[in-house]
Amino acid sequence: MKKNHIKNRKILILGGAGFIGHNLALKLKQLGANVSIIDSLKVNNLKTLNKNINNLSFPQLAKKIIKQRLSLLKKNRIPLKILDARNYHALSSEFNRIRPQVVIHLAAVSHADRSNKDPHSTFDHSLRTLENSLDNSKNNIEHFIFLSSSMVYGNFKKSKVDENEICEPIGIYGALKYSAEKIIKAYNQTFNLPYTILRPSALYGERCISRRVGQIFIENALNNKKITIQGDGEEKLDFTYIQDLVKGIVCVLKSKKSINQTFNITYGKSQTINKLFYNLKKEFPNIKVSYKKRDKLTPFRGTLSTIKAKKLINYKSDWPLDIGYSKYIKWYKNIYYKKQF
């Protein structure tokens, strides 16, 4: 495998104070990279929590989680520049100051429901920021890495999809992710910008505040609230622990074979939502469940094949759902019962 180095490499993470970004930054720092972050803290982050814009059930807990993220970044001496990446000129001057070799673009509205509720601002935070960051990267960046989503596939036509599957996204979030992939490829065609596109799915793990299914289950259980499952619970998702995604991104950074490629990066085996609930019940035996009609804008998904990532960049997932989810629940119990919020 043709190798690239991580040590001392200047890596800029846009949207790096989010769930994926700060976990990734900590790992890259540990591997010796010269990491910096740009984040506005204004989308699904500290500044939305003061007014609880996203109407979270437990905003004080979310705030505590974000503060933990920020203090970990500080403790590990990872510089965070608070800046709105929609502002082209401000972003350009940061690019000129940092002079990154690698850009990892995560800034977006990262939530499908929220994207459907507010397409206008989603477009701005997702595509405007992306174009600003591509334009600043086009002439002098060694590698541009973008986090797309399994939502680009739309309804899975097979139980397992690979990267060659035709994409037919449903709703605003998937459509914007797919447009983003096309724009990145256009920058590659026009300016030879080397890129990698990653398609993760159903992530869970420490310090997430996005209220995806795995987190809602735990928060409800901690607050003695009933769990509601959309549909009959037999629908499958490729639940992926955050450290598997982080490992995938490290593989992308290390291997030159990742250049100009698109990869699914997931656990690589889907499980039913009932199975997720069963894992929760092991930790919260008294928890109750009810079922309701599913949202028509949520595509039916399944397993994402990770064979291409294994062959080309040597990626192999480490965290089956029962182990990763139980580790996550233990972390959650710990932060919740300390009740310093």
Ligand X SMILES: NC(=O)c1ccc[n+]([C@@H]2O[C@H](COP(=O)([O-])OP(=O)(O)OC[C@H]3O[C@@H](n4cnc5c(N)ncnc54)[C@H](O)[C@@H]3O)[C@@H](O)[C@H]2O)c1
Size of the site for ligand X (CB under 6 A): 28
Residues 81-100 contacting ligand X, CB under 6 A: 84-86
130 binds ligand X (CB under 6 A): no
Please say whether the beta carbons of 52 and 59 come within 8 A: yes
- Is 299 a binding residue for ligand X by CB under 6 A? The answer is no
Least Cβ distance, residue 248 to ligand X (angstroms): 12
DSSP code for 11:
E
User: Between residues 70 and 287, which has the closer beta carbon with respect to ligand X?
Assistant: 70
- Does 41 engage in binding with ligand X (CB under 6 A)? yes
Residue 327: CB atoms within 10 Å? 15
Tell me which of 174, 200, 214, 324 binds ligand X, using CB under 6 A: 200
d(CA 254, CA 5): 6
160's tokens: 């397992």
**For ligand X, which residue of 62, 103, 134, 203 counts as binding (CB under 6 A)?**
203
Task: Among 4, 34, 36, 40, indicate the residue that binds ligand X (CB under 6 A).
Answer: 40
Candidates 42-50, 181-189, 248-256, 293-301: pick the segment binding ligand X (CB under 6 A): 42-50
Question: Cβ 288 to ligand X, closest distance in Å?
Answer: 26
Give the 3-state secondary structure of residue 9: coil
Give the separation between CA 251 and CA 241, rounded to whole angstroms. 16
Provide the b/e sequence for 51-73 (b: ≥16 CB within 10 Å).
Answer: eeebebebbebbbbbbeebbebb
Q: Which of the ranges 29-37, 106-114, 307-315, 321-329 carries the binding residues for ligand X, by CB under 6 A?
A: 106-114
Is residue 125 at the binding interface for ligand X, with CB under 6 A as the rule?
Answer: yes
Smaller CB separation from ligand X, 212 or 254: 212
- 337 touches 329 (CB < 8 A): no
Alpha carbon 30 to its chain centroid, in Å, reads 20
Cβ-based nearer residue to ligand X, 40 or 220: 40
Cβ nearer to ligand X, comparing 63 with 86: 86
Site string for ligand X, 139-158 (x = CB under 6 A): --------x-x---------
Tell whether residue 210 is a contact of ligand X (CB under 6 A).
yes
| C-alpha dist (Å) from residue 63 to 56, 59, 67, 168 | 11, 6, 6, 36
- Residue closest to ligand X (Cβ): 18
Binding residue (CB under 6 A) for ligand X from 73, 106, 193, 221: 106
- When asked if residue 39 is in the footprint of ligand X (CB under 6 A), the reply is yes
**Binding ligand X by CB under 6 A: which of 34, 44, 54, 255?**
44
- Residue 317 near ligand X by CB under 6 A: no
Q: Is 184 helix (H, G, I), strand (E, B) or coil?
A: helix
Q: Enter the tokens of residue 154.
A: 């739309």
**Helical spans, DSSP H, in the chain:** 19-30, 46-49, 59-75, 88-98, 112-117, 119-123, 129-137, 171-191, 213-222, 242-254, 273-283, 307-313, 321-338
Binding residues (CB under 6 A) for ligand X: these are 15, 17-21, 39-45, 84-86, 106-108, 110, 125, 129, 147, 149, 200, 203, 210, 212
